[in-house]
Amino acid sequence: MTESTALTPFRIDIPQADLDDLRDRLARTRWPHPVPGRDDPHDFSRGIPLPYLRELAEYWRDGFDWRAQEARLNELEQLTTVVDGQTLHVVHVRSSDPAATPLLLNHGWPGSFIEYERIIPLLADDFHLVIASPPGFGFSTPLASTGWELARTTDAFAEIMSRLGYERFAVHGTDIGSGVAGRLAAVYPERVIGMHLGIDRAVLGLVGAVFPRPDGLSEVEAAELDAILAASAAERGYLEMHNHRPDTIGAALTDSPVGLLAWIGEKFKVRSGDGYGAPVVDRDQLLADVSLYWFTRSGASSAQFYYEGAHSGVMPLMGGPVPSAWAAFDTHPLLRRTMDPANRIEHWSDFTEGGHFPAMDAPELLVADLRGFLRGLS
């Protein structure tokens, strides 16, 4: 059979029974016994601290309004389409200018299309915006098969842009979305107008595994890099589980809302623009994202993306012969020396603010950088 290329309108409508079930599960949470000395809600040295988690869970149960979030998200045009057997969810916001540049926004884990909600109105005058959820994320569920990794997802997203009528478009990405954006630029250079990536100092944790150690480091710089590598190694437990045992952690993330909240909430806390300080990422936006993972059971299915990537043999492609821009948030002097030692990236921006989720914790900076880079490209 020939696969349908239909674009089907989509509206979020979580059954009330699912909301009632979530509230009931939160009310019946079986909490761990407190560990003596672990009563500081700002101490994430062993993971998410119990006092912080309890407060967040209580607000999720009694203060957070999913229906208000749902109504606002439904103001966005949404659709689903089937590519290579997989249903994929897409947000499509058309500019009032028919000649506006199409811009594909790509997210990673533990983000979702909700990650970009606050920059949509800031960009919609200048760009036709497309946000496609990768297989296993959000409403791009359930997974129809195994084998959905970076290369297959990239091809699927290129097909989605064709179905929307966009043969030429710009791309932006963070986290896993950086891999999709980079691969689109490398594999489809005739279609990609420009590639914009958002990174933060967390990528320095990949030095030695993916990126070579910069040459000529001073003793102070070497010590700083070693400290960053140690901090990165200390929080990579989730990555090892996703890469090697997604089924095991997936069962817990699907059955326990507090387990899911801890798994995702820690990353938003420590990787937002102020590290372990007061949250920069808005609490309601964070919980809307966690709720999306809960209602779609994508805590389990999104982890499969990591397993597929770790076992696919597909290497990341960080761009091609197209104009490229890298925006470094929560930057560090070693970032460019590591990622672009020859200074070949023509548009590089350093920001001390922001973090791993710039669309959430530094939206104005991200929007200004995107506009500045894409202005004049066609």
Q: Any idea which residues carry the catalytic annotation?
A: 175, 306, 356
- Say which residues have a Cβ less than 8 Å from residue 265's Cβ, sequence separation at least 6: 48, 53, 56, 286, 290
Whether the link from the prior residue into 110 is cis, omega within 30° of 0, is yes
The tokens for 326 are 């890298």
- In the three-class reduction of DSSP (H, G, I as helix; E, B as strand; rest coil), residue 49 is classed as coil
For residue 227, the Cα-to-chain-centroid distance in whole angstroms is 25
The tokens for 151 are 């290369």
Please give the full DSSP string across 124-186, using - where no structure is assigned. TTTEEEEEEPPTTSTTS-S--SS---HHHHHHHHHHHHHHTT-SSEEEEEETHHHHHHHHHHH
Q: How far apart are CA 222 and CA 214, in angstroms?
A: 9
Q: How far apart are CA 247 and CA 240, in angstroms?
A: 12
Q: What is the DSSP letter of 79?
A: E
